[in-house]
Amino acid sequence: MGIALHSLLSAAVEAARAALRDLDGDQVPNDLRRAAAASGTLPPPLARSVVKGLDQYGWLREQAAPHLGEAQGPRRDAAELFLERPEGWELRLAVLAARLGEEAGSGAAQASAGKERELSEALKAARAKARSVQKESAAAVAALEQRLAGLAAARRAEAAGEARGEADARKELQAAEAAAREASRGRGEAEAEARRLRQELKDERARRRREAAAAAETAAGEAWVAEPAALAERLDETALMARPAARSAGPARAPKGPGEPWRLPAGVLPDARAAVDWLLSGGAPAAVLVDGYNLGYLMAGERAPAPARARVTAVAQRLHTMGGGALRVTVVFDSDIGPAETPPAPGPVTVRFSEAGETADDEIVRLAAESAGPVVVVSNDRAVRERSEAHGALAIWSTALAAWAGSR
């Protein structure tokens, strides 16, 4: 028996819900607002949307981790692996999924088998009780018939005027008949109980067949995969499905002039394609710092450094061209994740790799602080955006640039 992804990661889903509740309403991504507003146990579709959001948004995984609490067990282990993503986490998560699936199947089978044994034993006891009541009833009737026969003989021997003896005999006869009816009623109740237990046993077996069929369907559809390669493919599909669609924000407006802080105009959201259109519409000089692997993994659909670098570099060159040369585009990659096999070719876009011991995030924030004039930072990493904004940069999401590139 397999286990559904949102069930395996139930602890991570609840931690993410707690983290989302700490945010302001406009900070919650559109694809997670229904799940954030829901109360009680999430239905499977909303739980799956939270899993997709956790896989896509690194900032949400970071904020969800402290909300795991003190709970222990396999689902706590699965949540930590999915949120923290240490080396080899995909394989370890697949092993946990397989183990929980086997335990769930074994527990259901044992419970059903135990229920069937209980019903079988109860049916045997009811049958034995019915046989015992039948014997007792027959013995009571025989004894009463014998007694009635003796009373009748004694009555015939007495004088016809002994009315009192006759009345006593009648009372005893009525009592004997009532006892016989009671014995018959007890036998009927025992037989009815036996029929009820037989029907309950039949219903339990039918329920077990339905559960087995449902388990087979679940294993064929939403079961968590056990192979590492298949696990990675499933996570990639989840990330692609969770990518938000671009939203229309009306006509673009040019940025403000020198010396004025840059802000997106009303109606233009930082995670929408319209944010990039607005940036290109002004023609004002600006430095654009792109979080390379953050955008590359989103666009390439896989966590492979080389394809990610190729996709991001091509998009950055298009952005520079569409901006008429006014945008000085710099793409920063983390050298610890995937160093370049060959030096970047010269061109209009600057490609940088972080220094040893320094992350691409730190490099982007440093460049934002040192750059003169307007600065735009492109990243889905909330921490990168907030740190850059502290130095006066305008932050938009990698999702917006990916949507803009996909529409060209």
Instruction: Name, of 15-19, 280-284, 288-292, 335-339, the range with top average pLDDT.
Output: 288-292
pLDDT value at position 269?
94
Strand ranges of the sheet holding 327-333, from the earlier edge strand across to the other edge: 350-353, 327-333, 286-291, 375-378, 394-396
| 85 Ramachandran zone, left/alpha/beta (phi>0; psi -120 to 50) | left
Residue 231 reports pLDDT greater than 50: no
Any idea what DSSP says for residue 281?
H
pLDDT tens by residue, 171-184: 888 988 888 788 77
Q: What is residue 241's predicted lDDT score, i.e. its pLDDT? A: 39
C-alpha 309/C-alpha 335 separation (Å) is: 12
What average pLDDT does this structure show over 293-316? 90
Q: What's residue 340's pLDDT? A: 53
Residues whose CB is less than 8 angstroms from the CB of residue 151 and which lie 6 or more positions away in sequence, other chains included: 169, 172, 173
Is residue 268 within 8 Å of residue 247, measured between CB atoms? Answer: no
* pLDDT value at 219 more than 60: no
Q: Which two tokens stand for residue 356?
A: 């040893």
Whole-number Å distance between alpha carbons of 212 and 284: 65
Phi, psi angle pair for 2, to nearest 5°: -90, 175
Q: State phi, psi for 74 to the nearest 5 degrees.
A: -60, -40
Per the CB < 8 A criterion, the answer to whether 265 and 253 are in contact is: yes
Percent of the chain whose pLDDT exceeds 70 = 81
Which residue did the predictor score with more confidence, 187 or 14? 14
Q: Of 145-154, 157-166, 361-370, give the lowest mean pLDDT range.
A: 157-166
Mean local confidence (pLDDT), 12-19: 89
pLDDT at 233 over 60: no
pLDDT for residue 105 = 64
- Mean pLDDT value of segment 73-82: 87
Q: What is the pLDDT of residue 193?
A: 82
Burial state string for 200-228 with b = 16 or more CB within 10 A and e = fewer than 16: ebeeeeeebeeeeeebeebeeeebbbeee
What pLDDT digit, counting tens, does each position of 371-406 carry?
Answer: 888 999 999 999 999 999 999 999 999 999 999 998
Residues 119/200, Cβ–Cβ less than 8 Å: yes
CA nearest to 17, candidates 59, 74, 75, 67: 67
**Structure confidence by residue, pLDDT tens digits, 152-202:** 888 888 776 666 767 887 888 898 888 878 877 877 887 888 788 888 888
* pTM exceeds 0.85: no
pLDDT for residue 403: 94
- H helices present in 301-373, as ranges: 305-322, 360-370
pLDDT per position as a tens digit, 325-345: 899 999 999 988 866 554 555
Cα–Cα nearest to 78, from 181, 252, 224: 224
Residue 318 has a pLDDT of 94
More confident residue, 201 or 277: 277
